[in-house]
Amino acid sequence: MLVRWKLWLPAAILLMVLVGIAVACGGDDEEASPTPTGPTGSPSPLSGKLEIFSWWTTGGEAAGLQKLYQLYPQQCPGDVQIVNSTVAGGGGDVARQVLSSRMQGGDPPGSFQIHMGHELLDSWVASGDMESLKFLFDQQNWANVFPQGVLDIVSKDGQPYSVPVNIHRANVLWYNKKTFTDAGLQPPKTFADFFTVADALKAKGITPLALGDKEAFASVQLLEVTLLGTLGPDAYKGLWTGKTAWGSSQVTDALNTFKRMLSYTNSDHASLTWDQANDMVIKGQAGMTIMGDWVDADNKAKGFTNSGWVPSPSTSGTYDALSDTFGLPKDAPNRDAVICWLKVVGSKAGQEAFNPLKGSICARTDCNKSLFDPYLQSAMDDWSKDSIVPSLAHGAAASPAWAADISDAVTAFVASQDVGALQGRLSTACKDSGVCS
């Protein structure tokens, strides 16, 4: 008896451990997914759960998302229960990681928020995990409502893969109206104007350009608007397709301009975030900041009414766009409910409900202007007529790996000021991404 007992105790414990591991790794049984019914014609009553995955957790963004959820039952009759899956944190970084593990594990949410352009196309579309939305775009006649520029950005080989719900602009120069009137200055239109204004501000002891690049995207965005201003929209777009050579003299000019602009920024930019840089403009310590139009929401939140804006130097007539979009994963649970969600997101009512709260403009060109504040109204005017180019810093122009290489090159440049090295690294980054040869 004693002899047997000595051996079965550890054996029993080992068995318990192994059983525990087996149960934990067994996983849940997949819910029987409804057989795909293809592009739905008539709206049949929907049911079940619809999981929407995003990083809109606070403020206007969350409020706008809730508005969309309220609109959903009106456009999609039935009793679909919407599950608001959000992951908080920093511009979606954490959310993207969670999404990545879910997609690779074969457990996609119904639909997820992702930036338009290569952030989606080079990841989940390239891996074959997303369905083409051509049927939906044709059915909803969205080709007549979204500008061709944005259709180009969300499509790969002519097939659109996501529906843009909002549009932000990256090439905006914000300035303090009072500072400018006191100094007798006009907001700059071209790079030459910019440097004249900057010198005048510097002479008065005001930092010409406030930069807050604790988050690396801020300097990358400054580089992108400089490239845009120097090269123009077509050559800029060519950088991302391999048509424009990164080693060309035009790019060298742009990089030298970038270097010159950096010389007019505050020296402690590495410790400030973009909104702290905006604080400098609000307080009159700085004259201008070049940042996306989320500055408008920041100004409103801080009660700053003396804000003026112009397109960033030499980019008038060009809209450097970034957008949050929703797509259709291939094994999305409750596919019909997801398709109806995409319809809501792309609809006039949906975009009019969401965008005023978020502080962005509709991706559609037919939204009601009176719902938006003065800056957004002027942005909507520009949106319907400007040339649209994809933003680098926000996932539209280049894949995340390429964008990360560019970000590293820019960070090194901000300290070394070596234009040759920067240009070399940018060329190498293009080759490493596979776009340049």
Partner 1 sequence: MSKGEAAGPRVRGGLPRLDWKRARRFVTSERAIGMGLIVPSLVAVLVFVYGFIGWSALVSVSNWHNVNPDYTFVGLDNFRDLFKNFRFQIDIRNTVAFTVLFVGACLVLGLVLASLLDRYIRGEGIFRSIYLFPMAISFIVTGVAWRWLLAPRAGVNLLASKVGLSGIHYTWYTDSTVVYVHQGSRLADALDAIGLGFLADPNFGVPLAMISVVIAATWQMSGFVMVLYLAGLRAIPKELKEAARVDGASELQVLRHISLPLLRPVTLSAMIILGHQSLKIFDLIVSMTGRGTGFATDVPALFMFESTFRANNFSRGAAVSIVMLVSVSVLVIPYLFWSLRRESRL
Q: What is the 3-state secondary structure (H, E, C) of 108-171?
A: CCCEEEEECCHHHHHHHHCCCCECCCHHHHHHHCHHHCCCHHHHHHHEECCEECEEECCEEECC
Cα dihedral across residues 260, 262, 263, 264: positive or negative: positive
Between residue 21 and residue 80, which ones bind partner 1 under the rule CB under 8 A?
21
**CA nearest 168: which of 302, 307, 289, 324?**
324
- Residue from 256, 316, 387, 411 touching partner 1 (CB under 8 A): that is 411
Counting contacts by CB under 8 A, is residue 382 touching partner 1?
no
Counting contacts by CB under 8 A, is residue 103 touching partner 1?
yes
3-state SS, residue 324 = strand
Closer of 228 and 262 to partner 1 (Cβ): 262
- Residue from 138, 317, 416, 431 touching partner 1 (CB under 8 A): that is 416
- Residue from 62, 245, 349, 404 touching partner 1 (CB under 8 A): that is 404
Q: How far is Cα of residue 181 from the mean position of the Cα atoms in its chain?
A: 34
Counting contacts by CB under 8 A, is residue 377 touching partner 1?
no
**Binding range to partner 1, per CB under 8 A, among 1-9, 105-113, 293-301, 326-334:** 1-9
Q: Are 112 and 53 in contact (CB under 8 A)?
A: yes
Residues binding partner 1: number (CB under 8 A): 46
Report how far residue 342's alpha carbon sits from residue 332's, in angstroms, rounded to the nearest whole number: 13
Report how far residue 285's alpha carbon sits from residue 212's, in angstroms, rounded to the nearest whole number: 14
- Who contacts 195 (Cβ-Cβ below 8 Å, separation ≥6)? 260, 264
Counting contacts by CB under 8 A, is residue 422 touching partner 1?
no
- Who contacts 217 (Cβ-Cβ below 8 Å, separation ≥6)? 91, 393, 394, 407
Counting contacts by CB under 8 A, is residue 414 touching partner 1?
yes
Counting contacts by CB under 8 A, is residue 3 touching partner 1?
yes
**Binding range to partner 1, per CB under 8 A, among 59-67, 109-117, 156-164, 264-272:** 264-272
Q: For residue 326, give the DSSP letter.
A: E
- Residue from 405, 423, 430, 436 touching partner 1 (CB under 8 A): that is 405
Angstrom distances, CA of residue 202 to CA of 183, 286, 343: 11, 9, 51
- Residue from 97, 186, 190, 384 touching partner 1 (CB under 8 A): that is 97
Closer of 104 and 190 to partner 1 (Cβ): 104
At residue 81's C-alpha, the angle toward residues 80 and 85, to 5°, is 130
Counting contacts by CB under 8 A, is residue 7 touching partner 1?
yes
Pair type for strands 207-209 and 286-290: parallel
Taking the complex as a whole, the smallest distance from the CB of residue 394 to partner 1 amounts, in Å, to: 13
**Binding range to partner 1, per CB under 8 A, among 163-171, 188-196, 361-369, 400-408:** 400-408
**CA nearest 50: which of 84, 85, 82?**
82
Between residue 267 and residue 306, which ones bind partner 1 under the rule CB under 8 A?
267-272
Beta bridge partners of 114: 325
Taking the complex as a whole, the smallest distance from the CB of residue 269 to partner 1 amounts, in Å, to: 7
- Lookup result for tokens 């104007």: 193
**Binding range to partner 1, per CB under 8 A, among 155-163, 209-217, 298-306, 364-372:** 209-217
Taking the complex as a whole, the smallest distance from the CB of residue 427 to partner 1 amounts, in Å, to: 14
Report how far residue 409's alpha carbon sits from residue 165's, in angstroms, rounded to the nearest whole number: 32
Counting contacts by CB under 8 A, is residue 123 touching partner 1?
yes
Closer of 361 and 422 to partner 1 (Cβ): 422
- Residue from 19, 83, 126, 203 touching partner 1 (CB under 8 A): that is 126
Q: How big is the chain, counted in residues?
A: 437
Closer of 9 and 83 to partner 1 (Cβ): 9
- Site residues for partner 1 per CB under 8 A: 2-3, 5-7, 9-10, 12-14, 16-17, 21, 93, 96-97, 100, 103-104, 122-124, 126-127, 214-216, 267-272, 399-401, 403-405, 408, 411-412, 414-416, 425
